[in-house]
Structure 1
């Protein structure tokens, strides 16, 4: 066996070889095979829509005893394959897509975030945070920065994870431990963030659309889970810190660093021009936030509703959350870009927006089919029937609330092994979970919070996650023989700990009655 082959067989547990015939590797291989056989999410939504059409035709003549929770009338299934229904579908296809709630809010938020990312502003902030961190706080700071990097969508995967390895290596620690800590924060703690980001209105849009299958009047705030995700930062940082320093790094102690030193990335310090640009950008951001607060404070503020409330659904402040996220990133991003020379003229700013929108092209295609599926699912009446019957079954089982919640989290975590996209997965599950749990008193806000826990925790152990192979490449810069099995075995302790402890934390958080977020509740109605 060559040195590379020997290294390839080495795992993270002190260099012991990984048995390719072990049940762990067989299970991982099975997950990979099954996942690869699943159709693309966009095609999956198309298949599901056709399936809904077929079932609506088959069940349209069946009488059901279940009653609509809002009207009290018997639930009837509408035949979507009738001439009238197909004509309605075709004539409303464009407006169904353009009116899809998550589409506009995500694209608007991403315009601002994209400018901040393309200008280098977000990268500079992350470097600064890590550069001023004392050695003893290196691990928690890497994890915290990784969590905050969710704001810039892909920045965590392409910047923070490799930077974690660089920083640990420069500090005389094992670089794979730094990569593991950063990966745990970026992907395992994906739903833990105290900084609002595009993922908040994205998930809220799917949740609201699903809740309106049962109650057309339901309105949800884009930051309906903000308080919980902010508090979750502490859980993820503390868990990740302990696991990295006490479990992962000791197991890596005997794993030889055999990468080519010339190819190992080096952390570059910011130049004076970049530091100056960062100072001015942060000052501009702070001034903007201060001005917004000053605008909100007076009781006569235009950002308040007619009764003087800031947090009501009718308040302009709440309706402006997505535009405020846009401004929060685009203004300091433009300042940073011009001061560093990244932006030389106004066209450069527009080009950065265009580049960001280019990266959203797949999401737009998926959103088209998803919008059609959700609309047809709701129009058929199948969603309401499933919600009422499923809710009745849950009520008859009389399970304690925490057990039901934990079951949802575990189910989402399992589905996450096969469907990596957070938006695609929630678009698929929300029309089922949200209305069903509304029938037993769970609010859409609480169901969404449970989904976020399950969705995040298993990201780091599925080879089907789009960035998983990239993280393997990052590891191979230091340890040539790193493979999928090596990375999965290294991240498994984080995944299990996050899934269990974060789930318990949500139940405790719920039991105490702490707020989930803005205008959020735990119960329905």
Structure 2
């Protein structure tokens, strides 16, 4: 195989990305990053308040001052609110609840078998589309998809006589650049909307964000990105790689009969669960609809997280019992516990994130920046969609340094959600714009912890492959996904298509 590594190392693009890597490696761990940010908020609140800064929030007549955390009242607040900030942080309960179901499905092997069968059963001419589509759906398994999909996709391409690195790149693009898209509501929806709801809850408004508020946009995104990723693979990436000359032992092991039976039983359980849900949903005087029979708002939407969790539990149990991975009720509890244990890093990170957001809100710095920013944009006549596009591009660049989608949104949401809210934009629309940027550039940054793992998979097929090889391989996907996703966002805006149930661009 001919590799472009040596050439890529000399390109300006690779030098730029290597610089990003060097800067990114100097950033502290995300937990410590938010501790540092919390300290910065403490110091900033003291400095700003010493100048007597105050502002009037739109819709309110009362003048609001910046509260200093370097004060008796501030010290009391930090000590007495620390536990409540952590335990009451909205995304924490949502994520842990979702992981009881999704984690169980992952532990019994349901998600991996589903992914494998989706790829294997596709006709050869549709293999590329199946790989991208499966990669996008793979975010159901959260970060596990980064480890499952790319090597499986490389093996699929190798077994059908195509270049394995093209398959690996397609799988990585689907999982990484398409991470926040899906055709069903996932953990990502819960995490991001939880942070958004937390921020909007600090305002005196009934406007909030739920896990389904970007649902229609994400369905369309999944389909568009699948086609885009397949075309990039077949028209740009694979021709550039040429014919694969290597010889490796990567023969596919087909799904076992018991796994196929288990997958069938899981599908039966899924159909049964959805049928029962629809039956209850459309019953006269359904308890899942509002008092006037509507769906927006309704107990159904309010309870979407436990509804999704129970869906995964029911299908996982059906699968696990068939494969005998679930022998009794203790097996279920054990695997759920293991899934929650896998979330320990997230739980630790949430502690720091919760304190930072709480301090930001209590000091009123976020509101002050939002009101000031909105006033500046209005005075500069920068209130149109151009500023939303600028926000997307800024986020795409920041994502090169801060990989975690929830971590970056926790930084941006307190400022930008409020700022755009004061400009009349719906927070769910701004969240959708954020998701476009957050996913697109995640496959070209070494700050992605799975970037090096994917590189290791790549080196199984090409021993000489390096960072430049993988970056050069993934850059076309990153740029294409970002471009077509922005165009899709604009299409939704100009055609008046709702981004989710009852969600438009403006309030």
TM-score by length of 1: 0.93
Task: Give the alignment partner of residue 103 of structure 1, picking from 92, 96, 118.
Answer: 92
**1:65 to 1:158, Cα distance in 2 relative to 1, 3 A:** closer
1:183-222 per-position Cα deviation (integer Å, ceiling 9, x unaligned): 1111011122112111101000111222234335332221
**Structure 1 residue 308 and structure 2 residue 297: aligned?**
no
Structure 2: distance between partners of 1:81 and 1:217: 32
TM alignment of 1:22-33, pairs within 5 A? 22-33=11-22
Q: Does 1:253 align with 2:242?
A: yes
- What is the CA deviation profile of residues 18-40 of structure 1, one whole-angstrom value per residue up to 9, with x for unaligned ones? 25343223212211110011111
Structure-2 residue corresponding to 1:479: 462
Q: Deviation digits for residues 377-400 of structure 1, max 9, x if unmatched?
A: 111011111010000111122236
Q: Per-residue displacement from partner, 1:39-96 (whole Å, max 9, x unpaired)?
A: 1111111111121122222222434463112422223111222112211221121111
Quick check: 1:32–1:464 contact (8 Å CA) kept in 2?
Answer: yes
- Aligned counterpart for 2:434 among listed residues 442, 447, 451: 451
| Residues 417, 462 of structure 1: 8 Å contact kept | yes
1:322-364 C-alpha deviation (Å, 9 max, x unpaired): 0011111111111111111222232222221111111111111
- Within 5 A, what are the aligned runs for 1:212-231? 212-231=201-220
Residues 454-473 of structure 1: pairs in structure 2 closer than 5 A: 454-473=437-456
Task: Deviation per CA, 1:393-424: give whole Å up to 9, x if none.
Answer: 11122236221111011001000001111111
Work out the number of aligned pairs and report it. 507
How far 1:254 sits from its partner (Å)? 4.7
Q: Which of the residues 260, 278, 297 maps onto 2:263?
A: 278
Q: Is residue 11 from structure 1 mapped to residue 3 from structure 2 by the alignment?
A: yes
SS of the residue corresponding to residue 459 of structure 1 reads coil
Answering whether residue 282 of structure 2 is matched by residue 297 of structure 1, we say yes
Q: CA deviation at 1:154?
A: 2.5
Contact 2:178 2:439 in 1 (8 A): yes
Show the counterpart of 2:362. 379
Q: Which sits farther off after the overlay, 145-154 or 341-350?
A: 341-350
The 5-angstrom pairing of residues 185-196 of structure 1 reads 185-196=174-185
Q: 1:141 to 1:150 in 2, by over 3 A?
A: same
SS in 2 for 1:69: coil
Provide the residue aligned with 2:38 in structure 1.
Answer: 49
- C-alpha separation between the residues in 1 aligned to 2:419 and 2:449? 30
Which residue of structure 2 lines up, in the alignment, with residue 424 of structure 1? 407
Residues 24-33 or 454-463, more deviating: 24-33
Q: 2: distance between equivalents of 1:519 and 1:83?
A: 45
Contact map agreement 1:248 1:490 (CA 8 A) in 2? yes
1:383-398 map, 5 Å: 383-398=366-381
Give the drift of 1:158. 1.6
- Counterpart-to-counterpart distance in 2, 1:495 and 1:218: 33
CA distance 1:27–1:256, change in 2 (3 Å): farther
Give, in angstroms, the shift of residue 155 of structure 1. 3.3
Aligned twin of 1:328: 311
**Counterparts of 2:14 and 2:227 in 1: how far apart (Å)?**
29
Task: State TM-score, norm by structure 2.
Answer: 0.97
Offset at 1:487? 0.5
- Residues 495-519 of structure 1 deviation map (CA, whole Å, 9 limit, x = unaligned): 1111112112101211111111134
Aligned counterpart, 1:87? 76
1:440-478 deviation line (CA, Å, top 9, x unaligned): 111111110010000011011101101001111111111
1:233-258 CA distance string (max 9 Å, x none): 12101111111111111111155425
How far, CA to CA, are the matches of 2:185 and 2:126 in structure 1? 25
2:503 equivalent to 1:520: yes
Structure 2: where are the runs of 5+ without partners?
Answer: none
Distance 2:44 2:470 in 1: 43
Aligned to 1:4: none
Q: 1: CA distance between counterparts of 2:429 and 2:492?
A: 11
Residue 223 of structure 1, CA deviation: 1.1
Three-state SS of the structure 1 residue aligned to 2:55 is coil
RMSD, aligned CA: 1.6
**Per-residue deviation, 1:269:** 1.1
2:207 matches 1:203? no
State the match for 2:61 in structure 1: 72
Q: Is the 8 A contact 1:133 1:141 kept in 2?
A: yes
Gaps of 5+ in 1: 1-6
Tell me if 1:366 matches 2:337: no
- Counterpart of 2:119 in structure 1 is 130
Question: Could you tell me how far apart the structure 2 residues matched to 1:79 and 1:464 are?
Answer: 34
How far the C-alpha of 1:228 sits from its partner, in A, is 0.4
Corresponding residue number in structure 1 for 2:254: 269
Partner of 2:272: 287
Work out whether residues 183 and 222 of structure 2, in 8 Å CA contact, stay in contact via their aligned partners in 1: yes
Please say if residues 144 and 233 of structure 1, whose CA atoms lie closer than 8 Å, have aligned partners that are also in contact: yes
